[in-house]
Every structure is written in C-alpha cells, then in structure tokens.
Amino acid sequence: MQSSFLLASFRYVIMDMDGVLYRADSAQPGLKEFFDFLERTQLKYLLITNNSTLSAEDYSQKLLRMGVTVPATSIVTSGQAAAAYVQKEAPEGCGIFVVGMKSLRDALFEDQRYYFDAKNPRFVVQGGDFNLVYDTVKRACLLIRAGAKFIAANADPVFPTEEGLVPGSGSIGALLQVSSGQAPLVIGKPEPAMYELALEKLGADREKTVMIGDNLLTDIEGANRLGISSILTLSGVTSAAEYEQSTIKANMAFKGLPELIEVWEAALLESTS
C-alpha cells in the first residue's frame, strides 16, 4: 500500500528523464498528463540526467517534440553539474582539459571564466565522448599524472542507443583511472553533488523533496544516501522482478506515470478533506 501521507507532503520534485518521461524518442504513457499535474498542483520540479553529451536546451527541444514544454532552466545535465562544481572550487582564469562532447565544453566555457588548457590545466573534466580518439586519452592521462584534478561527469559504464548498450562515460573514466592511477571525483548520480545542486536550484528542503527515477543504482541509491524520499517507476531499466530481488528500495514504486498520478491526486485530495 502506497503512503498517501508521504505523497501529500512533497513540494519539490527531482526527476530523471530517460525511462521515466520517455524511452529513446518515444514519450512514456502519461507524460503530458504528469506535467499538467505538476502545474495544477504547483509542485516545483527539476529534471536531471547523467548524460553530458546533450545540453539542457537539447533536452528541452526533445520534450517539446513530445508535446511537453519544459524550459532549459528546469533541466540539469551532469555536464552542467560538473561546471557548477568547478565554479565553486576554482578561481576565475583556471585552465581545464576536457574529454567530452561540445555540450560539456559549452557548460564549462560558456561564460569564459575558464579556458581550455592542454598543457598545464588545473582540472581534467571527462564525460561521454562519441568521437574519442587515443591522443585525447593519452593527453588526459599525462595531465592527471602531472597533477591535474580528475573530475568525471558521471560513472555510467554504458549508454543506451537504438543499437543497444554502448560504452558510456564510466567506461572512458575507467580507462583513464587505470592508465593514470587516479580515481575521478564523480559528479553525477548517485553521488551527492548532482542532488545537492538540484536542491540548491529548487531552493528546496530535502524533507519536502522527492526523487523520481527508473534506475535503482543511480536515481534511488543517490536519493537514499542523502535522505531524500524516492519513487521508482518500473517503466525503464529496473523491472519489477529486479526490484523485488534488490536490497536497494525506494519509498514507493509504481508501474509508470499514470498510476503515480492517480495515487498522488488521491493523496492530495485525502489530505485536504
């Protein structure tokens, strides 16, 4: 039985996207209805993703093609989270070497506080890179060995594509870790930096916040570590059978968005009666 009291207490929502809102380029059932529900109930929300190969604006346009309007300011990628971490840790004018796509470079350099440095950077920031070449890995390895701080946007070992699962950011990070002898500071889920940035952007109390995700190892585990309530949707990478066997548990689990909306609306109605 789902906890209606807990659902009625939430004021802020952090959400994963792929597997919760859509799969590849197909909207999940209940997508538009869920955003209508969020607007109707005035729940503040932020979408977060471990993918650093696309920008927030890319995701905004993707959702628009599915009939949902979400401003880019309501979306945070792991690349943006990595940039936010660097901004807190490094003074303006630092050099950064980047292993990643244009979206990650844009997140780090768009305000021109930092510059690309292949000789003596303070940081090596690494994300997913579909155009990776050996020389880039070699340079990053040498720079990390020379003292640059190694930051990984996320540690996801694989990346879902229409062809199937392919090497992800975590696979590139593993290559650099083995070759450099240094483990990266990981920013994305399930590490705390991503969630803390989301809470900060929402101006949220974690006691009144819920994380909605489809991945036990990233979405739910990360929320559990920080004491944020969590909802698992069984519409993505985690099946009902896998969830039953797992030691990682969410506060609530639903088949998908339609069931979640129905129970949440009933909980809010009950709380006001």
Q: Give the pLDDT score at 1.
A: 41
Domain finish residue from 186, 213, 235: 186
| Residues 116, 27 share a domain | no
Cα distance between residue 260 and residue 149, in whole Å: 42
pLDDT at position 188 is 96
Identify the residue with better confidence: 97 or 91.
Answer: 97
CATH number of the domain enclosing 160: 3.40.50.1000
Q: What is the mean pLDDT of residues 227-249?
A: 95
What is the Cα–Cα distance from 165 to 221, expressed in whole angstroms? 22
pLDDT digits (tens, 9 = 90+) for 62-95: 999 999 999 999 999 999 999 999 999 998 999 9
pTM > 0.75: yes
What range does the domain containing 32 cover?
A: 4-50+189-272
What average pLDDT score do residues 92-116 get? 95
pLDDT exceeds cutoff 60 at 221: yes
Is the confidence at residue 121, as pLDDT, over 50? yes
Look at the chain and report how many structural domains it folds into: 2
Alpha-carbon gap, residue 13 to 260, rounded angstroms: 13
